[in-house]
A and B are shown apart, each in its own frame.
Chain A
Amino acid sequence: MPSMHRSGSRPQLDLSKAAIQGNFEVKNPTILLPNQSDDISHLALDIGGSLIKLVYFSRHEDQSIDDKRKKTIKERLGISNGNRRSYPILGGRLHFVKFETTKISECLDFIHSKQLHRGGIHATGGGAYKFADLFKERLGVSLDKEDEMDCLVAGANFLLKAIRHEAFTHMEGQKEFVQIDTNDLFPYLLVNIGSGVSMIKVDGDGKFERVSGTNVGGGTYWGLGRLLTKCKSFDELLELSQRGDNRDHRHIGLSASTIASSFGKTISDKKELADYRPEDISLSLLRMISYNIGQISYLNALRFGLKRIFFGGFFIRGHAYTMDTISFAVQFWSKGEAQAMFLRHEGFLGALGAFMSYEKHGLDDLMVHQLVERFPMGAPYTGGRIHGPPLGDLNEKISWMEKFVLKGTEITAPVPMAPSGTTGLGGFEVPLSKGSTLRSDASALNVGVLHLVPTLEVFPLLADPKMYEPNTIDLADRSELEYWFTVLSEHLPDLVDKAVASEGGTDDAKRRGDAFARAFSAHLARLMEEPAAYGKLGLANLLELREECLREFQFLDAYRSIKQRENEASLAVLPDLLVELDSMSKETRLLMLIEGVLAANIFDWGSRACVDLYHKGTIIEIYRMSRNKMQRPWRVDDFDAFKERMLGSGDNKPRPHKRALLFVDNSGADVVLGMLPLARELLRRGTEVVLVANSLPALNDITAMELPDIVAEAAKHCDILRRAAEAGGLLVDAMINTLDGSKENSPSVPLMVVENGCGSPCIDLRQVSSELAAAAKNADLIILEGMGRALHTNFNARFKCEALKLAMVKNQRLAEKLIKGNIYDCVCRYEPAR
């Protein structure tokens, strides 16, 4: 048994072991590595009285270093090759899994099947002692026991610092995420509600004290509940409570006097146990215990002057009524001074903490922006419920989805499938009224897989990273949410067609396509029911979820052939366009260029309206039609200010920009006929140009992998582009037919391509690739193009340098909401440096 966690210093994981065990993990594409097997794992357990919680880490190999573009961009941007070594951690994923303690055998099988114990097992919770022998016998490993309280605190500290939307309040059915300033986190009270309740005052990392607790906790609810109702499981009991009669106590609301005495009514009635509805008993019990915990917690927080109370532990389980009751108690007794907060990963504090106790997990240094949470389907890590064996590979996952659809809700789904009334593919009905039913399984998919991407950084040109909010549309607004869900649902059949076609339209592709559609519909239904299920929900998250879901079913590039076709068609007419542009005066040309960008932005497969257009004409026809419609003033029109900055007026000749970052959007005309000519103009003025494109495909967006070939092709017909691309290292090996050999020697500013670190049509500038961050250092102009990156996200973003936001609005509702305009209106927003 290799003990990798004990040897060496950072970087932590012993690479040499990687090859030995072969592929024990499924192929499971990620943003870093679409086809790479998981590598070495670290496993930590929290074995409690009723549940076993697992946290395990699977490493992913870094992306191949053969990428020519990457190599040159690193040289260009001064990122040394050895630089990556200095990252404190290696990329990978943190998985979260639960098993019932009574089914410990399943848990052992799971660990064994994935060989998670090879790196040793850190364990906490009472069961770490109780089951130590069993683990030794079954897996041949000794459990490294970690102190429970240490683990809880380490887990909570990690979550509160590393996960952006971890903590939330829950009042009267409403979840609201709370942004915690990590510099103002301590001290806080951590209330862990397991079988019993521990109340811990946390003063810092590793600095804490158990100040109180109560023996009336989850075990009391479940134990008493079992005796009184004959329920067979905790979840069953919890579910019963949802049907309990709540009429007398409208909201737990109630002044405290409303429930003068828990179960006090049963004194005077002549009824016996059999005469009471188990539902009512469960509800009363739940209320009594939650309320009591809330009260005692508040008293302890008060005693130590703690501002924040976080509640965690398995008792809560994302259960709305429980959280509401605790919140109410805290609010009632504190007269509104204190608020109860909850954690999305509430059940996993201990396990996470045990994981942190690995010497070399490297998570200590992890920053918020290096974590990406994803919510794949069908995997066994989805919290709350245990369902069958782990799904080993894609095929199993698809089978599971199919089976699920057949049997409807009988199978416990990691994503609760859409309730009846939901149609699988397009559209779904809105749940009757939010909050009228109380959910017991709300946590079912609250916990995703944490992807650790150490290369992600905060975009350095954000004016105020702390205040930055990528999403322009707040989906907390119910009508917005419904609208966008409808949009996505309606677009789904077309997307599935494209995806299946991209994989050759085989039977396998069709099967995967169906599974994808079901999975994504289930996600939508789930979010429709509880928008905050996956954390704070913005449009960008939704759109990214769709792309991730496609990748999960191994549609790596659904629009591959379409993109190719459009790129070729656009490149064919580019030379003519360039000749036309070159014949114009500087002033006219600048206007034509911006107009061209806006016109070409119509080519967007994410827009329903545009998809209709595609079926009506050729690319060039559409482009010309679109251009002809360009009538200034645009709906948002700062062109004159931008022109002033570029060309000056009178004798004022402004200096050219040093470096421009151009965030490109769609393939085809958008990038070729719109953004490339604009880049060319900047290059001509002596401005370095960095084209910023997606790391992974999203709809028909151009990717950083595809761009160099397009630039090379365009450069065949344009000397300016060719020399700039050469200077930028994009044409190192390319065979170029130069049009004009005489200018060979004159130096050029470089044209470069960097990946943005995203696989989504939008961009969250808190999490961008290190190469984009490096490229941004000398930039003094940012051009954001397209709806996803300039409107859906970043419309309100402010930058340290000049910024130009260009987009055509291809959605009526967005046009009305954002710019009080109409579909096909244009936005040209210029913002001077701050």
Chain B
Amino acid sequence: MDVKKPASQENLNGDESESQISHLALDIGGSLIKVVYFLRSNGSGGSVDDSGKKSDPVLEGRLHFAKFETSKINDCLEFIRSKNLHLAGFRHHDASASDKTLIKATGGGAYKFADLIKEKLGVVLDKEDEMDCLVTGANFLLKAVHQEAFTYVDGQKEFVQIDQNDLYPYLLVNIGSGVSMIKVDGDGKFERISGTSVGGGTFWGLGRLLTNCKSFDELLELSHQGNNRVIDMLVGDIYGGSEYSKIGLTSTNIASSFGKAISDNKELKDYKPEDVARSLLRMISNNIGQISYLNALRFGLKRIFFAGFFIRGHAYTMDTISVAVSFWSKGDAKAMFLRHEGFLGALGAFVSYENHGLGGLKTHQSVQQFAVSKTYAGKKICCLVNEDLNDNESIDFGVAFAA
């Protein structure tokens, strides 16, 4: 990763020789803490780009991503300390403001854990608006990272090349506990236009009550093995197996989620938790897909990107949402996902360093020329949560610090 660093920004890391690190940003959510940090590559410095034009000095380095469960925040703090990441913030612009190091953070936990972090790491969290970070992160990824967005159809991931000049406006659907739908018109230009309370929290909450699963992932895993037809009332169940094509429904369409639980004399314990989980997942994904599509339609948005912990790279949730969007749009629209979807907030917080104290840090177009390479950080850092491909990769890229 190249970071062009203007000479005037001498104070970026205090003593640069002491650390390779440039930045650290956190997104502390209700269930996960997402960490984004930048490590400089050795031997980089001011350079001249390919065109031969004299340019600003560039720092090359690598963006790393890591996740921890919020309940294990101490592991996270230990991880930061062990890597000295907390020294990577920036000193307050006003030199007189003691030696406080500010770390960019977002998410509800940025408030909740501020004191703990101050105590343990001696750094102050600089809180960034969640929605701002989300959008900034998404914009950054969609513009800066090649092959970031993809569709997911019938289990097949297909990367979508997005023309940067034709990116806006788009709909960003962030599925956390609840769901936020954000219309994004440009950098820093966005509006929350809708949402729904039926989101990941509903899946996990209802799912917990219905299945006694101990974790979200366990529930998701269960759902993968289930058959929703056992509990859902399908169009065919109502119409005696005949299709109701006149209104564009087929016998296998779900007419009523959990509708079969009405007529059966079965109780909860008579149903397999797998089937219950699957019905639940389909219900919620379908609903989010529908409301998202209707909102995209309403504002004439061509693209819908889904993100948030509900997705978390889980094939099955992506699949159901894709099916829903395709169904409701009659094939006109396709759901898209982001490879780094879990890190939008943290990335946004990271990028927001540009806006503070560094005199207009700016992502240059040139970053695109840097290919993405993946490293499997998970292999190295055992305390990180799950080993998913997406989670622990790092991206090489350059950030230009323009004066």
Chain A 122-142, CB within 8 Å of chain B: the 1/0 string?
000010011000000000000
User: Which of B13-21, B78-86, B206-214, B335-343 sits within the interface?
Assistant: B206-214
28 contacting pairs across A/B (C-beta < 8 A): A149-B247, A195-B256, A195-B259, A196-B255, A196-B256, A212-B290, A214-B287, A216-B257, A217-B257, A223-B262, A224-B261, A226-B261, A230-B267, A256-B195, A262-B201, A262-B202, A264-B197, A264-B202, A264-B204, A266-B209, A267-B205, A268-B30, A273-B210, A281-B209, A292-B196, A292-B198, A296-B294, A299-B295
Q: Does B248 contact A (CB under 8 A)?
A: yes
Selected contact of B197 from candidates A194, A224, A288, CB within 8 Å: A288
Contact residues in B for A259 (Cβ distance below 8 Å) = 178, 197
If A227-B261, A228-B268 touch, does A263 touch B205 (CB 8 Å cutoff)? yes
Across-interface contacts of A296 in B (CB, < 8 A): 290-291, 294
Type the 1/0 row for B236-267, where 1 means its CB is closer than 8 Å to any CB of A: 01111010001110000111111111110001
| Contact (A267, B256) CB under 8 Å given A210-B247, A223-B231, A260-B177 | no
The residue in chain A whose Cβ has the minimal distance to the Cβ of B284 is A216
| B-facing residues in A176-219 (Cβ within 8 Å) | 194-196, 198, 210, 212, 214-219
A223 to chain B, nearest CB (A): 3
A224 near B297 (CB under 8 angstroms)? no
Q: Does the CB pair B209–A228 fall under 8 Å?
A: yes
Residue of B whose beta carbon sits closest to that of A268: B30
Distance in angstroms between the alpha carbons of A126 and B206 in the assembled complex: 29
User: Is there contact, CB below 8 Å, between A224 and B206?
Assistant: yes
Q: Give the distance in Å from the alpha carbon of A50 to the alpha carbon of B237 in the complex.
A: 13
Are A292's CB and B287's CB within 8 A?
yes
Partner of A224, one of B176, B253, B258: B258
* CB–CB A219/B259 < 8 A: yes
Residue A291 CB within 8 A of the other chain: yes
Q: How far, in angstroms, from A284 to B368 measured CA to CA in the complex?
A: 48
In-complex Cβ contact of B177 among A196, A220, A267 (8 A)? A267
Residues A219 and B197 in contact, CB atoms below 8 Å apart:
no
Leading 7 A-B pairs by shortest Cβ distance? A264-B201, A219-B259, A219-B256, A261-B201, A223-B258, A126-B238, A223-B261
B256 engages A217 (CB within 8 Å): yes
Are A227 and B258 interface neighbours, CB within 8 A?
A: yes
Pick the residue among B176, B205, B287, B294 that contacts A300 (CB under 8 A): B294
Residue pair A126, B239 in contact (C-beta under 8 Å): yes
Q: Tell me the smallest distance from the CB of B201 to a CB of chain A, in Å.
A: 3
Residues of chain B within 8 A (CB-CB) of A222 are 259, 261-262
Name the A residues within 8 Å of B210 (CB-CB).
Answer: 227-228, 273
List residues of chain A with CB within 8 A of the CB of B176.
Answer: 261
B69 to chain A, nearest CB (A): 13
Q: Are the C-beta atoms of A227 and B294 separated by less than 8 Å?
A: no
Number of interface residues of B (CB under 8 A): 57
CA of A616 to CA of B286, assembled, Å:
77
A125 nearest in chain B by CB position: B238
**Beta-carbon contact of A49 and B247 below 8 Å:** no
Q: Which residues of B contact A218 (CB under 8 A)?
A: 256
A507 lies within 8 A of chain B by Cβ: no
Q: 20 extra interchain contacts, Cβ-Cβ under 8 A, other than A126-B238, A215-B283, A219-B256?
A: A49-B233, A49-B238, A49-B263, A50-B262, A129-B239, A195-B238, A195-B259, A210-B248, A220-B256, A220-B257, A220-B283, A226-B261, A227-B267, A228-B209, A256-B197, A259-B197, A260-B177, A261-B197, A261-B205, A265-B201
Cα A194 to Cα B208 in complex, Å, equals 27
Interface string of A267-279 (1 = CB under 8 A from B): 1100011001000
> CA–CA, A291 to B198, complex, Å?
10
Interface residues of A in 227-256 (CB under 8 A from B): 227-228, 230, 234, 256
| B271 contacts A227, C-beta separation under 8 Å | yes
Residues of B within 8 A of A333 (CB): 194
A427 to B100 Cα, complex, angstroms: 77
CB-CB contacts below 8 Å: B368-398 with A? none
Q: Once the chains bind, are A219 and B257 in contact (CB under 8 Å)?
A: yes
Q: Beta-carbon contacts of B93-112 to A below 8 Å, as 1s and 0s? A: 00000000000000000000
Q: Which chain A residues numbered 47 to 65 have a C-beta less than 8 Å away from chain B?
A: 49-50
Q: State whether the Cβ of B232 lies closer than 8 Å to any Cβ in chain A.
A: yes
Closest to B269 in A: A227
Contacts of B298 in A (CB 8 A): 299, 302-303
User: What residue of chain A has the Cβ atom nearest to residue B209's Cβ?
Assistant: A273
Complex CA–CA separation, A129 to B238 (angstroms): 9
Docked pose: A210 CA to B330 CA in angstroms: 13
In the complex, A437 has a CB within 8 A of chain B: no
Complex interface: chain B residues within 8 A of A264 (CB): 177-178, 197, 199, 201-202, 204-205
Q: Which residue of A lies closest to B231 (CB)?
A: A223
B328 at the interface (CB under 8 A from A): yes
Q: What total of chain A residues lie within 8 Å of the partner, measured CB to CB?
A: 55
- A residues sitting closer than 8 Å to B (CB atoms) are 49-50, 101-102, 126, 129-130, 147, 149, 194-196, 198, 210, 212, 214-220, 222-224, 226-228, 230, 234, 256, 259-268, 272-273, 276, 281, 288, 291-292, 295-296, 299-300, 302-303, 333
Question: Could you say which residues of chain B place their CB within 8 Å of the CB of A147?
Answer: 246
Name the CB-closest residue of A to B258.
A223
> A276's closest neighbor in chain B, by CB?
B209
For the complex formed, measure the closest distance between the CB of B275 and the CB atoms of chain A, giving whole angstroms. 11
Distance between A477 CB and nearest chain B CB, rounded to angstroms: 37
Residues of B with C-beta under 8 A to A295? 194, 196, 291
* Chain A residues whose C-beta falls within 8 Å of the C-beta of B348 in the assembled complex: none
Assess the B197–A262 pair: CB atoms within 8 A.
Answer: yes
Take A215-B256, A227-B210, A267-B204 as given contacts and tell me if A303 and B263 are in contact as well, using a CB distance cutoff of 8 Å.
no
In the complex, B402 has a CB within 8 A of chain A: no
Max chain A Cβ within 10 angstroms of own Cβ: one of B178, B194, B205, B267: B205
Q: Does chain A have a CB within 8 A of B276?
A: yes
Shortest B246–chain A CB gap in Å is 7
Nearest chain A residue, comparing its CB with the CB of B293: A299
A265 to B78 Cα, complex, angstroms: 29
**Contact indicator B294/A303 (Cβ below 8 Å):** yes
In B181-232, which residues have CB < 8 Å from any A CB? 194-202, 204-206, 208-210, 212, 231-232
Contact between B259 and A227, CB atoms less than 8 A apart: no
CA distance A363 to B246 in the complex (A): 27
A216's partner among B261, B287, B297 (CB-CB below 8 A) is B287
Question: Could you tell me if A49 and B256 are in contact, using CB atoms closer than 8 angstroms?
Answer: yes
| Cα–Cα distance between A292 and B256 once the two chains are bound (Å) | 14
Min distance, Cβ B30 to any Cβ of chain A, angstroms: 7
Q: Do A260 and B178 touch across chains, with their CB atoms under 8 A apart?
A: yes
- Cβ-defined contact, B178 with A219, below 8 A: no
The reply to whether A263 and B202 contact each other, CB–CB distance below 8 Å, is yes
A276 to B258, CA, bound (A): 20
Is A261 within 8 A of B202, CB to CB? Answer: yes
Residues of chain B within 8 A (CB-CB) of A212 are: 290, 294, 328
CB-contact partner of A261 in B177, B242, B297, under 8 A = B177
CB distance from B150 to the nearest CB of A (A): 27
Report whether A214 and B201 are in contact in the complex, using a CB–CB cutoff of 8 Å. Answer: no
The interface centre, meaning the residue of B240, B258, B263 with most chain A CB atoms within 10 A of its CB, is B258
CA distance A302 to B232 in the complex (A): 29
B155-187 vs A: 1/0 string, CB under 8 Å?
000000000000000000000111000000000
User: Would A263 and B257 count as touching, CB distance under 8 A?
Assistant: no
Q: Are A303 and B209 in contact (CB under 8 A)?
A: no
Q: List residues of chain B with CB within 8 A of the CB of A263.
A: 201-202, 205-206, 209
CA distance A223 to B297 in the complex (A): 31
Q: Is the CB of B262 within 8 A of A226?
A: yes
A220 CA / B232 CA spacing, docked (Å): 8
What residues of A have a CB within 8 angstroms of the CB of B212 in the complex? 272-273
Cβ of A570 to closest chain B Cβ, rounded Å: 66
Are A219 and B247 closer than 8 Å at their CB atoms?
no
Contact of B233 among A130, A219, A276, A291 (CB under 8 A): A219
Residues of B within 8 A of A230 (CB): 267-268
Chain A residues lying within 8 Å of B247, measured Cβ to Cβ, are 149, 198, 210
Nearest B residue to A260, CB-CB = B178
| Interfacial chain A residues near B290, Cβ < 8 Å | 212, 214, 296
